[in-house]
A and B are shown apart, each in its own frame.
Chain A
Amino acid sequence: MITKKQIDDLKIRSDSCMIRMEAQKKKNAACRSRHADIIKGIKDRLEKKKKEKPS
C-alpha cells in the first residue's frame, strides 16, 4: 500500500531537488560562460607565450 506520506516525501524531495537544480541552472548559465571565457583566455595567453619563447 502506498502511503500519501511516501508520495509527499518524494514530492518534497523532488521539489527540493528541483529548486536546487533551478538555482544551479541559473548559476550554471553564468558559470559556463565565465569558465569558457577564462579557459579560452588562458589558452590564448599560452599560445602567445609559446610563440614568444626563444628557440
Chain B
Amino acid sequence: MTCPLTRITIMTHAGCLGPNSCQWCMDNIDTVYYSEDDLGEPYMLPGHDNCSCQWEKYEVTGIYQADYEEILRLIEENEIAKAECEVIIDAQLIIMTEQLAIAEAATADAAAYEASADAHYAEAADWLAQSEAAYATAEEMAAIQDEQQAIMDEQLAIAAQAVADAEENQSLADAAYEEAEDWLAQSEAAYATAEDMAAIQDEQQAIMVEQLAIAEAATADAAEYEASADAHYAEAADWLAQAEAAYDEAVACEATQAEMQDLMDEFLAIADEANAEADEAYSLAEEYLADAEEWYNLGVEWEDLGDEAYDLGDYELADECYEEAQTCYANSIDCSDQAEYYTQLGDEAEQIAYDAMVEYEAAEAIYLENDPAPYYDDAQTYLDYSNAAIDEGDADAALAVEATQAANDALDAFDAAEAIYLANDPAPFYADAQTYLDNSNAAIDAGDAYAALASDYNQAANDALDAYDAAEAIYLANDPAPFYADAQTYLDNSNTAIDAGDADAALAAEATQAANDALDAYDAAEAEIENQIDILTTLSQVDYSECLDYPIIEDLIAECGAQQI
C-alpha cells in the first residue's frame, strides 16, 4: 500500500536586514514559500551585498488533509468491503451449485437434441443424394434438350428461310401466271377474229367442197372411165401379149419337135447301127465258139489217141498225140478268147443300142410334150379377147371425156368460192393467237418453274420441319421437369429434414447455450469468488494506518505561513 504522501519544498527568503537594505528586500526577506514537485525558486534573488539574500530550503513529507480523510474513509470502506466480499462469496457459492446443476441438465438435453439433429441430417443427406441423382438425370436430359433445341432452332431457321424462299418464288409464279392470263386473253381475242373469218371460210369451203366433190366425182368418173378404158386397153394388151406368147410358145414347140425329131432319127439310126454291129459281133462270137468247140474236140481225140498209144507202149506216138492235143487245146482257148471278145463287143454294141433307144424315148417324150397345136388355139383365143377389150376401152374413153367436162364446170365454181375463201384468211390471226398462246404458255412454264422452286422450298421447309419434329420428339422425350420436380421434392424433403435437424440443433444449441450460460454463470460466480477473494486479499493487504503517521501538510503550511509558489 502506498500512502498518498506529498513532498513539498519550503523555501525561505533569508537575508540580513540593515539600513542599507533595499526596500524590496526588506519587504521580502523572511517570506516563506512552498511548492510541490520542486518548482524552483519563486523569483530571482537580487545580488545585493547588503542584504545577503539567499534561499533556505528544506523538504517535508506529509499528507494533505483531504488525503488523510480519504485514508480514513478507505480504511472504513475496506472493512466494509471485506464484509461484503464474504457475503458475495457465499452467494456465489450457492450460484455455482445451482448453475452446475442447470448446466448438467442442459448438456444432457443438448446431447439428445444433437442426436436427433444428426438423424435428421442423415435423412437430409439421403434425400439430398437422391435429389442430386435426379438433378443429374435432369441435367443430362436438359443437355439433350439443349442439343435438340439447337437442332430445332437450326431447322426452324432453315424452314423459315425455305418458307420465305418458297413465298418469294410463289409470288414470282403468281406474277407469271397473271402474265399468262393476259397473254391468254389476247390469244382468245385473236382466236375469235380468226374464228369469224374461219366461219366465212367454212361457208366458202362448203361450196368449194361441194364443187370439189362434184369435180372430184366427175373427175373420179372420168378417171374411172379412163381407168376402165386403160384397164380394157391393158387387158387387150395383156391378151395380145398372151396371144403372142402362146404363138411364140407354139413356134418354140414346133422347133423343139423338129429338133427332137432329128435326135430321134439319129438315135434310131445309132440303135440300128449298133444292133447291126452287135448282131455281127455275136455272129463272129458264135463262129469262134464253134471253132473252139471243134478244136477242143480235136484235142480230146488227140489226147485219147495219145492215151491209147501210151497204153500200147508207143510212147513216141503218145507224145506226138499229146503235143497235137495241146496244140488243139491252145487253139480252142484262143478261139474261146476270140468268142468272148466278140461277145463283149456285141454286148457293148447292144448296150449302145439300148442307150440310144433310151435317149430316143426321152427325146420322144419331149417331142410329145411340145405339141404346138394347143398353143396355136390359145393364141387365137387370146387375140379374140384382145379385140373385144379394145372395143370396151373405146366406149369407156368416150364416157371419160363427158365426165371431164362436168369436172371443169365444177372447178370454175370452186375457183369463185376460193377467191372469197382466200380473202378471209384467218391464218395471221390464228398465228397471232398462237404466238400469244405461246407467250402465255411460256409465262405458265416460267410460273411452273417458280412454282416448282416454291414446291422445292416447301419440301425443304417440310423436311426441316420433319427434322424439327424429330428433334422435338427427342426434346419432349427428354423432359427434365419431372426429374427437376423430383430433385426439388427430394431437396424439399432434405430441407425439411435439415430444418428438423436445425430445430433440434437449435434446441441443442439452446440447451448448450443454457448449459454454457449456466457454466458461464458458474464461472462468473467462481470468478467472482476469486475476485472477491482477491479483493479480500487485497483489502487484507492494504494498511493505511502508517499513512496516518505523516504530518498534515495544511497544518505545516499554516504553521510556517508559507505561500504557495
Contacts and interface: CB of A to CB of B under 8 A. Distances in A.
Contacts of A6: 305
Nearest to B306: A2
A39 B277 contact: yes
Q: Is the interface of A mostly helix, strand, loop or mixed?
A: helix
B517 interface: no
24 contacts: A2-B309, A2-B312, A2-B314, A7-B321, A10-B301, A10-B324, A14-B324, A14-B327, A17-B328, A24-B291, A32-B341, A35-B342, A38-B277, A39-B348, A42-B273, A42-B349, A45-B270, A46-B352, A46-B355, A46-B359, A49-B267, A52-B263, A54-B256, A54-B259
A18 B335 CA distance: 11
Contact of B305 (A10, A21, A45, A52): A10
A42 B291 contact: no
A2 B335 contact: no
Given A35-B281, A49-B266, A14 B328 contact: yes
A26 interface: no
Contacts of B305: 2, 6-7, 10
B505 interface: no
B280 interface: yes
A11 B359 CA distance: 53
A18 to B, nearest CB: 7
B312 A1 contact: yes
9 shortest interchain CB distances as A-B pairs: A42-B274, A42-B352, A46-B356, A38-B277, A46-B270, A39-B349, A35-B345, A2-B309, A42-B270
Interface residues of A, number: 29
Interface string A1-40: 1100011001101100110110010001001100110110
Contacts of B291: 17, 20-21, 24
Interface of B: 256, 259-260, 263, 266-267, 270, 273-274, 277, 280-281, 284, 287-288, 291, 294-295, 298, 301-302, 305, 308-309, 312, 314, 317, 321, 324, 327-328, 331, 334-335, 338, 341-342, 345, 348-349, 352, 355-356, 359, 362-363, 366
A53 B359 contact: yes
B458 to A, nearest CB: 89
A18 B277 CA distance: 27
A39 B256 contact: no
Contacts of A7: 305, 317, 321
B287 A24 contact: yes
Contact of B331 (A2, A21, A28, A46): A21
Given A20-B291, A39-B348, A43-B352, A53 B317 contact: no
B124 to A, nearest CB: 134
A27 B69 CA distance: 232
Given A17-B331, A42-B349, A35 B277 contact: yes
B352 A2 contact: no
Nearest to B277: A38
B324 A42 contact: no
A35 to B, nearest CB: 6
Contact of A53 (B263, B284, B295): B263
Nearest to B363: A53
A37 B277 CA distance: 11
Contacts of B281: 35
Contacts of B328: 14, 17
Contact of A17 (B277, B298, B312, B366): B298
Given A10-B302, A39-B277, A42-B356, 8 more contacts: A7-B317, A14-B327, A17-B328, A21-B335, A42-B274, A42-B352, A53-B359, A54-B259
Given A17-B294, A21-B291, A36 B302 contact: no
